Structure 1
Amino acid sequence: MTSHSPSPPHLLFFLFIFLTSGVSSQQFLTSERTTLLNLKQSWGNPTSLINWNSTSSPCRWPEVQCRRGSVVLLRLDNKELTGSIPPFICNLSNLESVLLLHNSLTGEFPRVLYNCSKLIKLDISQNMFIGRLPDDIDRLSRLEFLELGANNFTGDIPPAIGNLSSLISLQLYGNLFNGTIPPEIGNLSNLETLGLAYNEFADPEIPSEFGKLNALKVLWMTATNLVGKLPKSLSNLVNLEEFDLSLNNLEGEIVPELFILRHLRSVFLYKNNFSGQIPSVIQSLNLSQIDISMNRFNGSIPDDFGKLQKLEVFNLYSNQFSGEIPASISQIPTLRIFRVFRNNLTGELPPEFGLHSKLEAFEVSENKFTGKLPESLCAGGSLTGVTAFSNNLTGELPRSLERCDRITTIQLYDNNFTGEIPSGIWTLSNISSLRLAGNSFSGELPSKVARNLSRLEISNNNFSGQIPPEISSWVKLNVFKASNNQFSGEIPAELTALSELTVLYLDGNSLSGELPSQIKSWSSLTILNLARNRLSGHIPASLTSLQDLLDLDLSENQFSGQIPSQLNNLITSLNLSANKLTGKIPSSFDNMAYQNSFLDNLNLCSSRITTLQNCFATTSQSNKFSPKIIAMIIILSAFVLLTSILSMMLMFRGYVNSNPKRIHTTWKLTSFHKMDFSETNILSSMTEANVIGAGGSGKVYRIGVGPPRGYIAVKRICNKNRLDHNQENEFTSEVQILCSVRHSNIVKLLCCISDQNSKLLVYEYMVHQSLDKWLHGRKRNLDPGSVPGFVLDWPRRLQIAIGAAQGLCYMHHDCSPPIVHRDVKSSNILLDSEFNAKIADFGVAKILEKQKPGEGDMSYIVGSLGYFAPEYAYTSRINERIDVYSFGVVLLELVTGKEANEGDEDSNLAEWAWKHYGEGDCVVGALDLEIKDLDTHLEEMSMVFKLGLICTSTLPSSRPSMKDVLEILRRSNPLDQLPEGMKQGREGFDVAPSY
């Protein structure tokens, strides 16, 4: 048996230390696991942390990182956490990084983290924290990264933040800061990233101390109310790479040294008030993006821009630049986006554009360019659009455009182009819009066009020949404008097969023959203009089936016979002048509103239009009544009229005697516009038969007042006894606002009438009633007043969105002080006979006077479920952004067809839309499939859907202003004009640029 020698004493000592330290480490990790499980419970036990349990090691959990057996990092972004940050989080004594972004955490700034003595990185962005940042925030003295963006922090940024000397990144974007920007931030000598964008600072200037941030690489101050000039000290930022001061009110000239900073990669200064010339010396050779659009820059474009061999995006549009485009810019090998439209540029376009790079967008419209369009624009094969309208360009179109398979739009109208359109352009596989009006193009229409072509505008050219019968294959055509050309022959019956056509202009040609007798396929047609041709025969009776027709012009032709009696009475613009029509004018048009619609038709007669023959006189003359019979008729008519008047007077007298409170002397009438009716017209017609709506405050009546107005709408605010306080306020608010504003997209208040118990508000009558009825009426068995089964097409929906945006933009930006509606919704957007939108119901609107802190809050919440902004529910703060949120919901209604409260389970439309988008589902799946022209307008609808998401961001500061919303809606590619930081901005979406 072999004996073992005793172990050396020092080996036993080390074995003892190893075993005891292992036990201690295991106990320590068990304690930290308990802390982590308590955190999970405190944050609502989210299912995303299902792998956190009491049996496994926390160091193996994907959200946890350990070092030497102790937790040093928590990565809990996008985990659906709720509640606040509990103080026991600092029981994780070695914790260095806390990443809690993209959750729903609440409360004030978590001062409990002061006890986390080793904390280096804190990211609580994209949550719902509120209140002011603490004045002693510098107690987090070891912080290197402080990310607080996209919350609801308010007040001043504390100067103490300048004491965090180790900070590398400071992100405070997208909050509600409304105080000052502390110059002490300039003391952060190690700072590389500074994000202050999307806050509403109190008219700040950029502190000159920022010039001391020598390590700074990113300066992001978009939409922060900046005023004044750029401080010269910014030229000291020698390491600056990203410079974004867009959407502010800065003025003056650009610091010349800015474009000498050698590390600079992007400059965003769009939409300010900068003026003067661009510095001629540009040495920032790493620049890849320049956007200085929408300013007041003048002078020429510097030649040195051509030295920027890494430049991809070049946006100088909407300025006052003059002179020629340097040829060297067209030779930049990386150039993708070139936009210089709306300037005063002259000369010829450099011919090498597109030859050296994969050009995607080329927009040079609204300048004074001459010469030809560059031949090589599409040489790279990536071009998606050519926009060069309103210049003096000449020559023929480049045949190279025939190979641009990705191109979707060509806009060359109002130039001096000549020759025929290259045949391949008509059939480009992705083209949807071809706008060539106002040139000298010639040739005939092709028999075949692109499958997606929806808009063709060729008016005021020299096109000739007949309209080909193969036009029936242009199935996606929505707008066809071909006025003032030389087309001849008959209008082919095949043209009427285009069921998606909404606008047709063929006026000013040499078309002849009769109109096709069957035109029922034009079910979507709203405008038909065939004036100044040689058309003859009868006006087809099938025109009466076009229930959407609003504008009909058949003037200066040779039409004969009678006007179809059932012609759509929704037509608002009618011109049948200078024809050979006979007979009586249909009753729906026989009034002075249409007095110029029937001129120069010798055999037409009317009962009411004084400029035409009187039908009664014509009949009398043809029957040759004797003078005695005529006299007897006149006497009898006078007797009947006198008897009727006496009877009405007796009836009204009895009504007054039996209703002493209703006599006209007790009513007070205040008019705001010229009136063509009296209070008697209104009071005598307020019967149940005329009720067209009802709400919490009373009923709405439609009352006929005769020509030329036709109808008015009367809203009655009343109570069984006296009006309560809220009803009085509603009446006062509506009158105070509507009597002072004048805008075509705000409903017109004609007058108000009041007595002790009732208030009457008298408005212009909106024929098509509310947008809500058109979008959702059939779900509730409500008739919007149109053809059964009719669905608003996309062009009309976009028209309505733009109109409503114009009204709100006027209220927010053009009224002084601004007006906040507070109840924007589809039922408060009314539509006139041409589907023009008008904002209505200002009973809870608020005029934003200058207020002391706290005075902007309301003691009670108004608005409608599904429409009011989330911050309004817990702060009751009043500002324009609550209207933007509500309008965003309306945009989502227009695009999806869903109601504001329609979502999944407990969610509303806005929440459902964000969830749909956030899960990566195709936007098409959210669109209203009842829209007939869905494919044609898919891109446009998708853009408006995304705009609706941006407007309904949970962060008020992330929402665009109504001025920006309107500008986006008006552009053909809406989101192209959004700054990067605004393209996203809700929980689960990063609002910061990808620096």
Structure 2
Amino acid sequence: MIPSSLFMISSLTELDLGRNDFSGPLEIGNISFPTKLEVLFLGENNFNGPIPRSISKLVNLSYLDLSLWNTERGIVDFSIFLHLKSLMFLDISYLNTRSKVDMSVFSQLLMSLDYLDISGISLKINSTLPISSSISTLSLSSSNIVEFPKFLQTKTSCLSYLDISANQIEGQVPKWLWTLPELWFLNISYNSFSCFAGSASDLPLLPNSTKFFFGSDNRFSGEIPRAICKLVSLDTLVLSNNNFSGSIPQCFKNLTRISVLHLQNNNLSGILREGSISDYLRSLNVGHNRLSGELPRSLINCTELEFLNVENNKISDTFPFWLRLFHNLQILVLRSNEFYGPISSPGDSLSFPKLRLFDISDNRFTGVFSSDYFALWIAMSSLVVDIVEYDQVCKTLNHCVGRSAGNYHNSVTMTAKGLKMELVGSGFTIYKTIDISGNRFDGEVPESIGLLKELIVLNMSNNAFIGRIPPSLSNLTNLESLDLSQNNLSGKIPPELGKLTFLERVNFSYNRLEGPIPQATQFQSQNSSSFAENSSLCDLPLQNTCGEEEATTKQDQDAEEEEDEQVLSWIAAAISYVPGVVCGVTIGHILTWCKRDWFMRIFHLTNALLV
């Protein structure tokens, strides 16, 4: 808890305790003197209970952040903020309150505020709500809004940042929105917008000042408006999870400053044209479309590329070896396309020092992995992720332009523990995965796989790997999912794998493995199907134990030897009755008791004796 005595320091002007683990109800105490406190940042902690009314006595506050306060579904008296006449910055987003707020409560504040974030609070909005012409940042995300806030149409010439994502707004994006001269950030994602009003006119789709446009998860259809190509300052364009069709506009080559381009989960077709992508690109996601052809070789100029996802298209190409030049590459997803050929060349190794997710599954890749193939994949072999690197990941993948922008996360689908899952946001820094399943690789599993100590998921199934399972896999102490099924692996499952205590799912089925299954909890808890179609595997969770199998084998061998001895005795008897007619009678007895192959041998032997 925060001691209330902090608020009694008469000379205190700024108090920043945000983004920690402070908890409990906040006690400000009985303030009986004029306070000089101007900045109070308590957001993103674990406070609970009501917001103290005594905040209204901090009359000199210009900056107040109480975001993510847990009021325990209580009622908030928003009038306490009206006493803060000097307030310019107010963030009370995601208070966990059941209050439905008439936004007119903030009408007095709206005449002076520069920044207002009331996201996550259910709002009722009056179309004639007065608002300051100087407000620059407004966030109304996740507020149950059902129509575009019309009060923004007037006196918002300074509005530069607008987030109305995750609401229930339908129909057209209004034409007047494009006339706001200072707008550089717009997030209208996760609504039900169907079209852009005025996009076919001479007006630009957005003001030329626009740098960040998030329009994902709506109902947009038709071709991507070519007017977007006029936004020469655009840095981030996200139109994923819509129903856009046609090709990716060739005029995207005019977006020379764009660094994030996400168009996944649409119906886009055609090819990625050479030169249509900015050299500044850091994140490209065009997965789950109907794109064909080859990867454009102009991507080689994107030296800062960190995220590349082209999954579930019809791209036919060889492995892009030029990616080894990208030392910042962290996510590479080529799955479910028509890539072919080897992914290594003799005497040449791939160095991916920052790669965290490598998914090339369900293609037609071939060839053999050299034993040291994974030796230079440093990020998967080391736990070291310094703060500078993590911040860079955040800025690239989440694009943290203010906290509201940070609500947008990059995502990718992966297979782990036998299930498809979506990896989002911080998962990219946590999950380190390799999936090369569903190809035509052969040769042995490379020993260097054991160097990747931070690997969480390893899937090498449905290939043609031969030889033994390398014991070096036991070094992957963080492994949670291991799939080596549907290969031609032989020998025993290394007992050392029993020490992989985080292992939740394994699959060794459809190989030629033999011997006992490691008697460790993580193996014994698996379904027997994880070891199916390995005729010589034994012990739990299979029904047969290794001891029983050996006993059964010995019994079968003894029975065969006894049968052979019996047959030989009949042969001796037949030979002793060689003369004439007796020989024929003996042959009759032999026909009754002996197998056909032994009879034929006796018959020929008897004839020889008679002669």
TM-score range, shorter chain: 0.5 to 0.7
Provide structure 1 residue ranges, at least 5 long, that are not aligned to the other structure.
Answer: 1-45, 516-533, 538-557, 559-995
- Within 1, Cα distance between the matches of 2:108 and 2:505? 63
Sort the Cα spacing of 1:355 and 1:207 in 2 relative to 1 into closer, same or farther, 3 A: farther
Match of 2:484 among 436, 439, 451: 436
Match of 1:169 among 154, 161, 176: 161
Sort the Cα spacing of 1:157 and 1:180 in 2 relative to 1 into closer, same or farther, 3 A: farther
Sort the Cα spacing of 1:308 and 1:514 in 2 relative to 1 into closer, same or farther, 3 A: same
Sort the Cα spacing of 1:433 and 1:170 in 2 relative to 1 into closer, same or farther, 3 A: closer
Sort the Cα spacing of 1:135 and 1:455 in 2 relative to 1 into closer, same or farther, 3 A: closer
Q: Is the 8 A contact 2:353 2:379 kept in 1?
A: no
User: How big is each residue's C-alpha offset from its partner over 1:467-512, in whole Å with a ceiling of 9 and x where there is no partner?
Assistant: 37xx324654424534444628xx5xxx34xxxx4xx4889x9994
- The residue number in structure 2 matching 1:198 is 190
Sort the Cα spacing of 1:126 and 1:447 in 2 relative to 1 into closer, same or farther, 3 A: closer
> Cα offset for 1:91?
6.0
- The residue number in structure 2 matching 1:423 is 471
1:147-226 correspondence runs (5 A):
147-158=139-150, 160-161=152-153, 164-201=156-193, 203-205=194-196, 208=199, 209=203, 211-226=205-220
> Cα offset for 1:354?
4.7
1:755-794 correspondence runs (5 A):
none
> Cα offset for 1:55?
0.6
> Cα offset for 1:90?
5.3
Q: Residue type matched to 2:494 in 1?
A: P
Sort the Cα spacing of 1:387 and 1:135 in 2 relative to 1 into closer, same or farther, 3 A: same
- Within 2, Cα distance between the matches of 1:510 and 1:340? 46
- The residue number in structure 1 matching 2:364 is 368
Q: Is the 8 A contact 2:111 2:131 kept in 1?
A: no
Sort the Cα spacing of 1:378 and 1:250 in 2 relative to 1 into closer, same or farther, 3 A: farther
Tell me, what secondary structure is at the counterpart of 2:237? strand
Q: Residue type matched to 2:235 in 1?
A: E
Sort the Cα spacing of 1:331 and 1:377 in 2 relative to 1 into closer, same or farther, 3 A: farther
- Within 1, Cα distance between the matches of 2:169 and 2:227? 25
1:402 is aligned to 2:392:
no
- The residue number in structure 1 matching 2:516 is 467
Count of residues in Structure 1 that have an aligned counterpart in Structure 2:
454
1:385 is aligned to 2:433:
yes
1:55 is aligned to 2:49:
no
Q: Residue type matched to 1:182 in 2?
A: P
> Cα offset for 1:161?
2.7
- Within 1, Cα distance between the matches of 2:480 and 2:543? 18
Q: Residue type matched to 1:472 in 2?
A: Q
Q: Residue type matched to 1:401 in 2?
A: I
Q: Is the 8 A contact 1:359 1:377 kept in 2?
A: no
User: How big is each residue's C-alpha offset from its partner over 1:226-262, in whole Å with a ceiling of 9 and x where there is no partner?
Assistant: 2222111111222222222222222221122335523
> Cα offset for 1:409?
2.9
Tell me, what secondary structure is at the counterpart of 2:449? helix
Q: Is the 8 A contact 2:266 2:288 kept in 1?
A: yes
Tell me, what secondary structure is at the counterpart of 1:251? strand
Sort the Cα spacing of 1:242 and 1:513 in 2 relative to 1 into closer, same or farther, 3 A: same
- Within 1, Cα distance between the matches of 2:460 and 2:483? 6
- The residue number in structure 1 matching 2:579 is none
1:118 is aligned to 2:112:
yes
1:646-665 correspondence runs (5 A):
none
- The residue number in structure 2 matching 1:77 is 67
Match of 1:333 among 318, 327, 340: 327
Sort the Cα spacing of 1:192 and 1:448 in 2 relative to 1 into closer, same or farther, 3 A: same
1:253-268 correspondence runs (5 A):
253-258=247-252, 261-268=255-262
- The residue number in structure 1 matching 2:295 is 301
- The residue number in structure 1 matching 2:599 is none
1:547-696 correspondence runs (5 A):
none
- Within 1, Cα distance between the matches of 2:326 and 2:507? 34
1:877-956 correspondence runs (5 A):
none
Tell me, what secondary structure is at the counterpart of 2:261? strand
Sort the Cα spacing of 1:422 and 1:184 in 2 relative to 1 into closer, same or farther, 3 A: same
* Percent of aligned positions that are identical: 21
- The residue number in structure 2 matching 1:140 is 132
Q: Is the 8 A contact 1:206 1:230 kept in 2?
A: no
- Within 2, Cα distance between the matches of 1:454 and 1:511? 28
1:425-574 correspondence runs (5 A):
425-426=473-474, 428-452=476-500, 453-464=503-514, 466-467=515-516, 471-473=518-520, 476-477=523-524, 478-479=526-527, 481-485=530-534, 487=536, 491=538, 495-496=539-540, 501=541, 504=542, 512-513=549-550
- The residue number in structure 2 matching 1:43 is none
Tell me, what secondary structure is at the counterpart of 2:172? coil
Q: Residue type matched to 2:195 in 1?
A: P
> Cα offset for 1:149?
1.4
User: How big is each residue's C-alpha offset from its partner over 1:311-360, in whole Å with a ceiling of 9 and x where there is no partner?
Assistant: 22211112221121321123310111111111121122245675142221
User: How big is each residue's C-alpha offset from its partner over 1:134-168, in whole Å with a ceiling of 9 and x where there is no partner?
Assistant: 33346432211111112111124428537511111
Sort the Cα spacing of 1:461 and 1:102 in 2 relative to 1 into closer, same or farther, 3 A: closer
Sort the Cα spacing of 1:61 and 1:186 in 2 relative to 1 into closer, same or farther, 3 A: closer
Q: Residue type matched to 2:37 in 1?
A: R
Q: Is the 8 A contact 2:210 2:233 kept in 1?
A: yes
- Within 2, Cα distance between the matches of 1:249 and 1:124? 30
Sort the Cα spacing of 1:431 and 1:123 in 2 relative to 1 into closer, same or farther, 3 A: closer
- Within 1, Cα distance between the matches of 2:31 and 2:284? 54
Q: Is the 8 A contact 1:355 1:376 kept in 2?
A: no
1:311-322 correspondence runs (5 A):
311-322=305-316
Q: Is the 8 A contact 2:204 2:230 kept in 1?
A: no
- Within 2, Cα distance between the matches of 1:510 and 1:301? 56
Q: Residue type matched to 2:118 in 1?
A: I
Match of 1:128 among 110, 122, 126: 122
Match of 1:310 among 304, 311, 314: 304
> Cα offset for 1:169?
0.4
- The residue number in structure 2 matching 1:928 is none
> Cα offset for 1:370?
1.2
Sort the Cα spacing of 1:142 and 1:441 in 2 relative to 1 into closer, same or farther, 3 A: same
- Within 2, Cα distance between the matches of 1:344 and 1:535? 51
Report the TM-score when normalising by structure 2.
Answer: 0.66
Q: Residue type matched to 2:297 in 1?
A: D
> Cα offset for 1:309?
1.7
> Cα offset for 1:420?
2.6
Q: Residue type matched to 1:99 in 2?
A: D
Q: Residue type matched to 1:186 in 2?
A: W
User: How big is each residue's C-alpha offset from its partner over 1:940-971, in whole Å with a ceiling of 9 and x where there is no partner?
Assistant: xxxxxxxxxxxxxxxxxxxxxxxxxxxxxxxx
Deviates more, 1:167-176 or 1:270-279: 270-279
- Within 1, Cα distance between the matches of 2:543 and 2:197? 54
- Within 2, Cα distance between the matches of 1:387 and 1:50? 52
- Root-mean-square deviation (CA, aligned residues, Å) is 3.6
Sort the Cα spacing of 1:445 and 1:191 in 2 relative to 1 into closer, same or farther, 3 A: same
Q: Is the 8 A contact 2:294 2:315 kept in 1?
A: yes
Provide structure 2 residue ranges, at least 5 long, that are not aligned to the other structure.
Answer: 1-22, 42-54, 381-431, 561-611
Q: Is the 8 A contact 1:170 1:195 kept in 2?
A: yes
1:242 is aligned to 2:236:
yes
Sort the Cα spacing of 1:339 and 1:101 in 2 relative to 1 into closer, same or farther, 3 A: same
Sort the Cα spacing of 1:123 and 1:473 in 2 relative to 1 into closer, same or farther, 3 A: closer
